[in-house]
Structure 1
Amino acid sequence: MISLVLAMIWSRRGQAITLTLLACFAVAAAVASPAYLAAADRAIAVGQIATADTVERTLVVSTVQNDRDTEDGGIEFKDIGRSLIQLPGFAYTYAAEFAVIGIERSPLHADRVVFRQDVCEHVRMVTGRCAAVEGEVILGTATAARLDLVAGQSIIMRAARFSDDPGHPGYVPDGKAKKLLIAGTYAASRPADAYWGTHGYFTAVPGLGPGEPIFTTAGTLAVMDHGYTAKSVDGTAGPRALDPDRLGDLRAGLAGLDASREELGSAIDIRTQIPALLDRIDAGRAAAGLLVPVLAVPLVLLACFSIFLAAGYGTEGRRPELAVVALRGSRWWIRWWLAIGENVAAVVAGAAAGCVAGQLLVNAVSAARFPGAGGPESWGSLRYAPYAALAALVATVLAQRRQLISPVVDLLRRNAVSADDRRTLAAEALIVLLAIVATVQLVISDGSLTGVSLVAPAFLMLAVAVLAARLVLPIVNRFAARALARGHLGAALAAFQLSRRPGARRLLALLVATVAVAGYAACAFDVAARGRTVQADLGVGAHRVLDIGGSVFRSQLLTAVRTVDPDGRYAMAVVRMPNAGHNEPPGLAVDTTRLAAVANWPAGGPSADRLASRLRPAAAAPLLLTGPDLTVEATSAGLSPTKEFRLVVAVSSTTGRGDELVQLGKIRPGKARYQQRVGVCAQGCRVNGIKIVEATGTTGVAGRLVLNSIGPADPAFPVAEPGRWRMTEDGTVTGDPAGLRITLNAPAGLAGGTWISPADAPYPLPLAYAGAKPLADSITGAGGGPLPVEPVADLPAVPQLGRHATIVDLEWADRLATDAEIALNPQVWLSPDAPADIVDRFLAQGLTVVGDVRADRIGRQLDRQGAALSLWFYVLAGALAVLLGAGALVLAAAVDRARRVEDLSALRAQGLSRGRLTSATSWTYPVLIAIAAVVGLGTALVTWLATGWALPLAGLHPPDLPRPAWPGIGTMIGTTAVVFLFLVLVAAATGRDLRRRVARRETAAGR
């Protein structure tokens, strides 16, 4: 019996090879998904580690100790080594610092004396040499130049502490003087290097420029008299610590370090963002774990369907043989063996090859798509191979069940009994029911890809495919009848071959599913790729975003950016607006004069130019002061003598020196002169407002204050004109022969003060919003209080903040604020035209860049996250699906070939022309493929509409940005065209082979 089966295989070796290849592809598809998932897990970790920021790779353990209270004044602090030993693979750097005075000219500023381990290896000596022995220091080149200090010069320094005495604020001595030698001057070659940690050593000092520590030796630190000292151990994770295969050990070590915090003491501070990196890796792996099975399931179903179809087609071609075996009265097991043995042998051979082929295919894809991921090749996915092989065998046996149990009379029929029996209808109904249940469950669970929801795309594609096949073929049959009636014999023969051949409907359903799987993969890949572009561009906000550290005022940021980029070509100042609570969306304040030139702007709303014109209408000139000696002359009348009223003026430097609330003191009865020297106004100031506050907090405030003059003021601003001022509560402003009359009427009192501000900005403030229109007529202003706004534009999204946010003009928002507080999250957005030395230019303006985010780097990081990497499996799945469809097509053609050669040869003998023969052989399967391509494209889009929204294409917790929901038309048409052309080429090859066989038969017959 075995020899007979082998002889059968050899006689139909073409069909056997095709079925073997189909089984190989089917098992390879089942093995590929877990193998790819294992490879992607490692690639996700490697990619995230490679693109992690410095702060995500470092660990800082710090404390502040008073060295006078300890016997040992060294830099070690208690038990830190024992706690860090459980974190192997880190490179540790020890540091200590304290404040000193002696070389700065102003008591408001102090220097930092720093010992940092191995500092000489990380600075470039410009003059002299690095500090080597006790009593030597090195200075930064900018500091040395500003203070006229050179290498070889001696300086006297002492420890210092800050005194907040209102009369004499600043740094005061806190230790004995120490004579030090300047060994050399240095420049930090790579200030952003991980070695420097998160200490902000080179943060710019307002009014002084670049901040540069005074580096010294451990010996100097030990002998110099000082008190409170900041000490730290900075750990930088190396390749061993961040080994992708040992991330669990790293997380456990960090958890143990956190648990030992109590043992280390409450004064010890442990800071690290490594857990955030590990969380991002886990989130990426979780997203991949959801995305890969979504297309793996339909691919496996398609593989089983192709085996089912191929085995059924092959058995259909052997029906006469099976009838002869049945007529001879063979026993049932012999009949079964002869029926299934040929196909089973081919499937078993293909399954064995598919186990290895699937893993090798994934290894090749991983090497091409995940270069540098490294790691040993895992063959663990082969444990799924037996299940895949068993599924293929079951599909093979089920495909032949009809021939195994059919009576001889049915087997002897030239045309098989119609398959439209109750069992077929029940199977198709079950598929449709499963598709409906899974899709409904996906919707009800709000997109949770668990349980039956995970198979929703698979069964939906299969259901649409079988329904389409059932509906389309009757139409083809009617077309064939009409073509025959009109004398189009070639077209009629081709169409009848489709509509009346047993198994044609299943073949069409398979080809529809093939195109649908490839199309669905293209949908996911295209939507995800364009979504990552949106996240990188719109999510960052601009080509490059610089985070500014230190205490920076809004006016200071604006002035510095406009000084560096006076033409507004490549830099824009940006700050966050305060947020009063969850009911108020986040907001941005931007310099709208540069919005169109710098920002990455969303499509679908007003252009950046148009929005800028709406957010920045014309406004009156501000009240400017021309010198530092602020003088206010005012006449009070009617104010209660039992209450204490004070006068405060809010000013902003016009040259970037900052903001200040100037206390002018108690308001005196009658006409009085109030004067204060304001340092930030040395080169000019803008008056933001004048505040009258009642210190005792009593109710019932009434009276008048006539503002006679403000100086030294720009004469272009008419102080006495009431239309140039704004008072929104607790009184009114009117004209007066002596100046500006301020009439107070505050029944609830003036404990919080009332402001009289120059009307030099639009009020209410124009505002654009994304998402729901603000319900209130005000937002939290830049100064923290309520600010009336006027919505002027509806946006699809606000750059960096997303689809629920607001945006206003920064200069107008700053003019309407009177808080004199530092900016919230100050940033500078840059266009691609920004010069290479832009960071140095801002440093020269007193701005320190503490973060540098680039859209292209974020794009590369997103391309290496879990969602992006897992979608390359969709490309692999699409290719495997097309190969499965092509294999089934080849096998169907091979099975049909003998009968079709016989039929067409007979028709040729009866006068069928060669042209009609060519039409009958050339258009049969291409027409079927064309129908499948159109229906498959529609199936993919229907499935995407129903399930695509649930795929975590941007990760599990994506930012709220307007990502595309539909693939591009070009992508879908292109994908369908590629699949169509490939299958048509396969079909064309079978048609040519059929014509050659007919021609050979004619030659053999002597025609």
Structure 2
Amino acid sequence: MMSLVLAMVWHRRGQAVTLALLSLLAVASAVAAPAYLIAADRAVAAGQVATASTGELTLTVRGVQDSMIGGSDNDFADLGGTLIALPGFRYFYSAETPAVGLEKTDRYPTRLVFRQDVCAHVTIVTGRCLFGESDVLLGERTAERLGLVPGDDITLSGAAPDGSVGVPRFVPVGRPKTLVVAGTYRATEPGETYWGRHGYFVSGADVGSGEPVFTTSMTMPATDRTRTELAIDGVAAPGVLDVDRIDRLRAELRRLDQSAAELDETLQIDTDIPRLLDRIDQGRAASGLLVPVLAVPLVLLACFSIYLTVGYGADGRQSELAVVALRGARWWSRWWLAAGESLVAVLAGALAGCLAGQLLINVVAAVRFPGVGQAADWSSLRYAPLAALIALLAAVAAQRRQLTRPVAGLLRRIPAPGSGRVPFGEAVLLVLAVVTGVQLVLSDGSLTGVGLFAPALILLTLALLLSRLLLPVLGRFAARALRRGRLGPALAGLQLTRRPGASRLFALLVAAAAVAGYAACAVDTGTLGRDTQARLGAGASRVLTVQPVSGRQLLAAVRAADPDGHWAMAVTQLSSGTDHPVSGLAVDSQALAAVATWPQDAPQAATVAGRLRPVAVEPTVVDGPELAVDVTSSSNRLQLSASVSSLDGEATIDLGRLRVGRATYRERPVVCRAGCRINGLQVSGSGAAQVKARLTIHSLGDRWLMSGTSTTSTATTGPDGVTIEVDVSPSYAEVARLRPAGVPDPLPVAYAGAAPEAIKGLADDTLRVDPVTALPAVPQLGRQAYLVDLGYAGLLASGTKRAQVAQVWLSPAAPADAVARLTAQGLTVADDTGTAAVRARLDRQGPALSLGFYVLAAALATLLGVGALVLTVAVDRGRRTEDLVAMRIQGLRRGPAGQATFWTYPVLVTAAVVAGMLVGLAGWRLTGWALPLAGVDPPDLPLPAQPRWGVLFGWTGAILLPYLLAAVAGGRDLRKRVG
């Protein structure tokens, strides 16, 4: 019996090979999904590690030694003992103490630092590296500024803060220490993880040049110190943050915290590694949802393809099975002769498919995720036996009718009457599609439980329903063509609609195209979403985050670097200051249209900028270095102060208590040494009783108004200047504030979502707002945010608060030396990102990586459909040749016969692919909104929900091409046989 089955396989070896290849594809599709998910998990982890910050790749254990005058050995034993249980990190020891004597200022100390292996991470500009006790390395800019060269001596003393004079300063403590300049250095890579979280190279007015003085471990014990910060920085080695070690690393970090607490409560552990691990888990969770969404319909399609093609082949052998039945063969012999040929081919293909699926993913991973993780992972092969078993069961189920039909049914060459009724399986599929779709909606798009199967069941159900609707339409067209005497189209149409299994073949092709169409929608929508997140989420082509400065200082510095606002814009983040705070941006609206990435469907950026800043306000400028104010006062219980700013900073200058009568009050603030602008004036009272008085400011012009946040005090202007009727209560800390005239109060605000009631961030007081323009989204912040003009906000604000987040947005037209120009104006760049960096980060997150499987699924679905078509053509070829040859003998002309043979399958596949793409688009509209395509923790941006029509047309052409090639080749072969 086995030899007979093998002979049947050899006789129809073309069909057997095609069925084996189809089975290979089917099983490979089932194995590919878990294999790709494993590879994607590794790629997600590697992508997050590659884009992680220094704090997310390092951990620092800190300890403090106080009152160490006289010196003692650096003792890292307590710190190092906490790290024994945390392998896989490379550790660097450091010690730092404040010192004075190098710089001329006492506003900040010099950072004297021992750092293990420092010479390997700096470039020696002059001299040599550290060797012995008392050797130091100076930063090249510091050495140049102070006129020091290698071999010179410097003297440093331990430093202690002293606030006795009201202004914090640092004073020397202990014996001075003479040190030798061994060389000068430049940090090779200031941002590399070796430097940890210490901020050695951060500069600013309050912290110095950002070039610490490096020394040896022997120097520290020989130096009198007041406070020494000991630290051990652990830098994650390659492989420590691999996906396989995440759970173990979390447990080790928890044990580290416990060990540190038990050893010494004063030890501090700083690390953002848990945050990185959480992001990796979020990306893996997104992959774990996205991959199965298309893996499920792909596997179902694979089973359907085996079921259909085996059944179609069995239909072609019905006459043979009828002969076996007439001879009275026993049921097991009849079953084996009916199913054996297909089972042999399916089993051979299934066994090869188990290996092919894993090899395919190994190749894809090597190309898509080069250099990621370990070698090829074969763990997904545990699903191979199940996939092979399902393939065999589908093959057996496809032949059940041939095993149970009577001989008359087996000899019938067209469907029996009533065979067009809806099968029970299709009815169940429809019910399941409705139930899972409802579950998806009720769970608000949660792809868990049965909701995960909603996209697959909806796609297959729509494909079956549409195929049942379209085939009768094709049948009517064929009948109409026959009545009109167009024999070629009529015969082609009748072959499509009257052949057994034609409806199932059409449904399979529609379903395969639907899976590919759904993949096209997901891939293009995800691409558009990442593009929107990168452009609108970044805010500008390039975004520089600078060290904290006040909003006024930031605005002045950026305008000094780019006076015309062509390529740079000052930006700070604000808060609404309410019980339900809303984030906002204060921007230099002068540069808004030229720099910011603007949302679609929003008013023009230039229009919004004009509404945010309807009039230009001329500031009151002091040439410097002296600030002089001419005032006439009727009371000696008033105090006057002025808020001033310049590129050197911002300050509130107290001009002192006013005397009765006219006098000039003078101060020489540091910020006004090269000129400054007066942003506001403040009058307060002294004593306990209410102060009611009049004062006139003569020297600052008449362009001043009383701030809306002031008390019942009033201000009027006249030829002598601005006159203020002061009415304040010192006991309630009431003040009268003046702001420059022309600044709208309330402040104009453009908003997305709900308009804020008030804003805070640059001011001591809350600023009132006037909503003037609605936006679909605010760049960088999303659909619940607002925009105000930074210049207006600074003039309305009192006090000198630093911005929460200070940034400079750059346009693509920014010059190559943009950072240098901004640095020359006193800004220190702490981070440099933008559209390209955000897009690169998004492309390495779980959603983007998972969509690679969608492209693979579309290719596999198309190959399954093409394989089913090829096998169908091979099965139909003999019977169709007999029919058409008989018609030719009875007078059918060559032309109609050629049309019937050549156009049957091209028409079929064209109709199926177009219908399938429409089904895919419909399935996407019904379920695509639930897919987590937006990345990890995305801002609330108006992301695209639908793909582009041009892209869908391109995918349709690419999917249709292999179908047409197979269909045309089959048609030509059939036409040659008919003659």
Q: Which residue pairs with 2:496 in the alignment?
A: 498
The yes-or-no answer on 1:692 pairing with 2:680 is no
Separation (CA, whole Å) in 1 of partners of 2:156 and 2:338:
100
Task: State the Cα distance separating 1:724 from its structure 2 match.
Answer: 9.1
Amino acid in the other structure paired with 1:27? V
* Distance verdict in 2 for CA 1:664–1:264, change over 3 Å: farther
Task: State the Cα distance separating 1:820 from its structure 2 match.
Answer: 0.9
Task: State the Cα distance separating 1:992 from its structure 2 match.
Answer: 0.9
Q: Which residue pairs with 2:122 in the alignment?
A: 123
Q: Which residue pairs with 1:662 in the alignment?
A: 653
* Distance verdict in 2 for CA 1:724–1:450, change over 3 Å: closer
Q: Which residue pairs with 1:512 in the alignment?
A: 510
Of 548, 563, 573, the match for 1:576: 573
Q: How does 1:603-1002 map to 2 (within 5 A)?
A: 603-637=600-634, 645-653=638-646, 656-669=647-660, 671=662, 673-694=664-685, 701=690, 703-710=692-699, 718-719=701-702, 729-735=711-717, 739-745=721-727, 750-774=732-756, 776=757, 778-780=758-760, 782-955=762-935, 957-999=937-979
Separation (CA, whole Å) in 1 of partners of 2:239 and 2:411:
71
Amino acid in the other structure paired with 1:3? S
Do 2:79 and 2:267's aligned partners in 1 also have CA atoms closer than 8 Å?
no
Do 1:546 and 1:828's aligned partners in 2 also have CA atoms closer than 8 Å?
yes
Separation (CA, whole Å) in 2 of partners of 1:514 and 1:33:
17
Task: State the Cα distance separating 1:452 from its structure 2 match.
Answer: 0.8
Q: Secondary structure at the match of 1:176?
A: strand
* Distance verdict in 2 for CA 1:708–1:646, change over 3 Å: closer
Task: State the Cα distance separating 1:294 from its structure 2 match.
Answer: 0.5
Separation (CA, whole Å) in 2 of partners of 1:371 and 1:738:
76
Amino acid in the other structure paired with 1:708? I
Amino acid in the other structure paired with 2:695? V
Separation (CA, whole Å) in 1 of partners of 2:389 and 2:799:
74
Separation (CA, whole Å) in 2 of partners of 1:254 and 1:114:
28
* Distance verdict in 2 for CA 1:645–1:75, change over 3 Å: farther
Q: Which residue pairs with 1:546 in the alignment?
A: 544
Of 399, 423, 426, the match for 1:425: 423
TM-score (norm 2): 0.95
Q: Secondary structure at the match of 1:63?
A: strand
Amino acid in the other structure paired with 1:38? I
Do 1:727 and 1:733's aligned partners in 2 also have CA atoms closer than 8 Å?
no
* Distance verdict in 2 for CA 1:857–1:758, change over 3 Å: closer
| Aligned-CA RMSD value | 2.4
Task: State the Cα distance separating 1:244 from its structure 2 match.
Answer: 4.3
Deviations 1:140-191 (A, max 9, x none): 2222232333333323321122222245642222222222232333222322
Q: Secondary structure at the match of 1:84?
A: coil
The yes-or-no answer on 1:593 pairing with 2:619 is no
Do 1:724 and 1:760's aligned partners in 2 also have CA atoms closer than 8 Å?
no
Which moves more between the two structures, 590-599 or 338-347? Answer: 590-599
Which moves more between the two structures, 601-610 or 226-235? Answer: 601-610
Do 1:706 and 1:739's aligned partners in 2 also have CA atoms closer than 8 Å?
no
Q: Which residue pairs with 1:34 in the alignment?
A: 34
The yes-or-no answer on 1:322 pairing with 2:315 is no
State the percentage of identical aligned residues.
54
Separation (CA, whole Å) in 1 of partners of 2:655 and 2:936:
56
Q: How does 1:335-374 map to 2 (within 5 A)?
A: 335-374=334-373
Amino acid in the other structure paired with 2:3? S
Which moves more between the two structures, 163-172 or 909-918? Answer: 163-172
* Distance verdict in 2 for CA 1:100–1:229, change over 3 Å: same
Q: Which residue pairs with 2:255 in the alignment?
A: 256
Task: State the Cα distance separating 1:634 from its structure 2 match.
Answer: 3.5
Q: Which residue pairs with 1:143 in the alignment?
A: 142
Q: Which residue pairs with 1:23 in the alignment?
A: 23
Task: State the Cα distance separating 1:330 from its structure 2 match.
Answer: 1.9
Q: Secondary structure at the match of 2:639?
A: strand
Structure 1 residues not aligned, in runs of 5+: 1000-1007
Task: State the Cα distance separating 1:489 from its structure 2 match.
Answer: 0.6
Separation (CA, whole Å) in 1 of partners of 2:450 and 2:743:
59
Do 1:290 and 1:449's aligned partners in 2 also have CA atoms closer than 8 Å?
yes
Do 1:162 and 1:171's aligned partners in 2 also have CA atoms closer than 8 Å?
yes
Deviations 1:740-773 (A, max 9, x none): 2222456897524331222253333222222234
Do 1:418 and 1:502's aligned partners in 2 also have CA atoms closer than 8 Å?
no
Do 1:620 and 1:761's aligned partners in 2 also have CA atoms closer than 8 Å?
yes
Deviations 1:435-480 (A, max 9, x none): 1111110011111111111111111011111111111111111111
Q: Secondary structure at the match of 2:148?
A: coil
Task: State the Cα distance separating 1:56 from its structure 2 match.
Answer: 1.8
The yes-or-no answer on 1:290 pairing with 2:272 is no
Separation (CA, whole Å) in 2 of partners of 1:150 and 1:824:
40
Q: Which residue pairs with 1:162 in the alignment?
A: 161
* Distance verdict in 2 for CA 1:131–1:331, change over 3 Å: closer
Q: Secondary structure at the match of 1:646?
A: strand
Task: State the Cα distance separating 1:576 from its structure 2 match.
Answer: 0.8
Work out the number of aligned pairs and report it: 979
Task: State the Cα distance separating 1:586 from its structure 2 match.
Answer: 0.6
Which moves more between the two structures, 97-106 or 501-510? Answer: 97-106
Separation (CA, whole Å) in 2 of partners of 1:820 and 1:513:
65
Do 1:634 and 1:705's aligned partners in 2 also have CA atoms closer than 8 Å?
no
Amino acid in the other structure paired with 1:354? G
Do 2:157 and 2:177's aligned partners in 1 also have CA atoms closer than 8 Å?
yes
Separation (CA, whole Å) in 1 of partners of 2:191 and 2:63:
23
Structure 2 residues not aligned, in runs of 5+: none
Q: Which residue pairs with 1:46 in the alignment?
A: 46
Amino acid in the other structure paired with 1:361? L
Task: State the Cα distance separating 1:840 from its structure 2 match.
Answer: 4.0
Amino acid in the other structure paired with 1:475? V
Deviations 1:558-615 (A, max 9, x none): 2222333344333222111134246232111122222233322222212333332332
Separation (CA, whole Å) in 1 of partners of 2:263 and 2:819:
39
The yes-or-no answer on 1:557 pairing with 2:537 is no
Amino acid in the other structure paired with 2:809? W
Q: Secondary structure at the match of 2:745?
A: coil
Task: State the Cα distance separating 1:837 from its structure 2 match.
Answer: 4.3
Separation (CA, whole Å) in 1 of partners of 2:730 and 2:918:
69
Deviations 1:638-680 (A, max 9, x none): x7x9xx6533322212xx1111122233455555554433221
Amino acid in the other structure paired with 2:350? A
Do 1:725 and 1:733's aligned partners in 2 also have CA atoms closer than 8 Å?
no
* Distance verdict in 2 for CA 1:590–1:722, change over 3 Å: closer
Task: State the Cα distance separating 1:208 from its structure 2 match.
Answer: 9.2
Do 2:739 and 2:795's aligned partners in 1 also have CA atoms closer than 8 Å?
no
Q: How does 1:87-236 map to 2 (within 5 A)?
A: 87-167=86-166, 169-206=168-205, 210-236=209-235
Separation (CA, whole Å) in 2 of partners of 1:183 and 1:411:
99
Separation (CA, whole Å) in 1 of partners of 2:470 and 2:311:
21
Deviations 1:297-318 (A, max 9, x none): 0001111111111111111112
Do 1:75 and 1:94's aligned partners in 2 also have CA atoms closer than 8 Å?
no
Amino acid in the other structure paired with 1:706? L
Q: Which residue pairs with 1:484 in the alignment?
A: 482
Q: Secondary structure at the match of 2:513?
A: helix
The yes-or-no answer on 1:411 pairing with 2:404 is no
Separation (CA, whole Å) in 1 of partners of 2:688 and 2:197:
44
Do 1:578 and 1:824's aligned partners in 2 also have CA atoms closer than 8 Å?
no
Separation (CA, whole Å) in 2 of partners of 1:342 and 1:403:
14
Separation (CA, whole Å) in 1 of partners of 2:655 and 2:638:
11
Separation (CA, whole Å) in 2 of partners of 1:780 and 1:167:
28
Do 1:26 and 1:884's aligned partners in 2 also have CA atoms closer than 8 Å?
yes
Amino acid in the other structure paired with 2:971? G
* Distance verdict in 2 for CA 1:380–1:192, change over 3 Å: closer
